[in-house]
Amino acid sequence: DAMVIQNPRYQVTQFGKPVTLSCSQTLNHNVMYWYQQKSSQAPKLLFHYYDKDFNNEADTPDNFQSRRPNTSFCFLDIRSPGLGDAAMYLCATSRELGVTDTQYFGPGTRLTVL
């Protein structure tokens, strides 16, 4: 089945230790998104790629970076995780950027920072 896959599902890191989260998709969608969802809060967009074009949200901290080496894969790098970065990180894809293009979410990676 076509889907959005995230690895790992659970990630534990130490304060300040870089971590990379992975997302892959078999939908062949042009757009890939990363959202951060903290406990009992709504998901918040960090950035998105349209093909190779990277688009950062204005309030996304510099500590968060992303790479998209090809259509199928997208990575979220957190350079120096702080305790406040503990959250569920959700990858989503959509075919295009149109207002009726559905975003499909992966299962998420839950990040714990010790």
Partner 1 sequence: QKEVEQNSGPLSVPEGAIASLNCTYSDRGSQSFFWYRQYSGKSPELIMFIYSNGDKEDGRFTAQLNKASHYVSLLIRDSQPSDSATYLCALHDYKLSFGAGTTVTVRA
- How far, in Å, CA of 102 to CA of 113, rounded? 32
Q: Kindly write out the interface string for residues 8-27 of this chain, putting x where it contacts partner 1 by CB under 8 A and - elsewhere.
A: --------------------
- Give the nearest distance from C-beta 16 to partner 1 in angstroms: 27
Applying CB under 8 A, does 41 fall inside the site for partner 1?
yes
Give the nearer residue to partner 1 in terms of CB position, either 14 or 102.
102
By the rule CB under 8 A, 45 interacts with partner 1: yes
Is position 86 an interface residue for partner 1 (rule: CB under 8 A)?
no
What tokens appear for 76 in the block?
A: 């979220």
Closest CA relative to residue 31, chosen from 111, 93, 105: 93
DSSP-based three-state secondary structure for 83 = helix
- Tokens 């009726």: give the residue: 100
Among 78, 108, 111, 113, the residue binding partner 1 under the rule CB under 8 A is 108
Max distance between CA atoms of the chain, in angstroms, equals 40
Q: Which is nearer to partner 1, 43 or 81 (CB)?
A: 43
Asked if 108 contacts 88 with a C-beta cutoff of 8 angstroms, the reply is yes
Rounded Cα–Cα distance for residues 41 and 31 (Å): 24
Among the listed residues 48, 74, 81, 111, the single contact to partner 1 using CB under 8 A:
48
Three-class SS state of 28: coil
Binding footprint of partner 1 on the chain (CB under 8 A): 33, 35, 41-45, 48, 57, 88, 90, 92, 97, 99-100, 102-108, 110
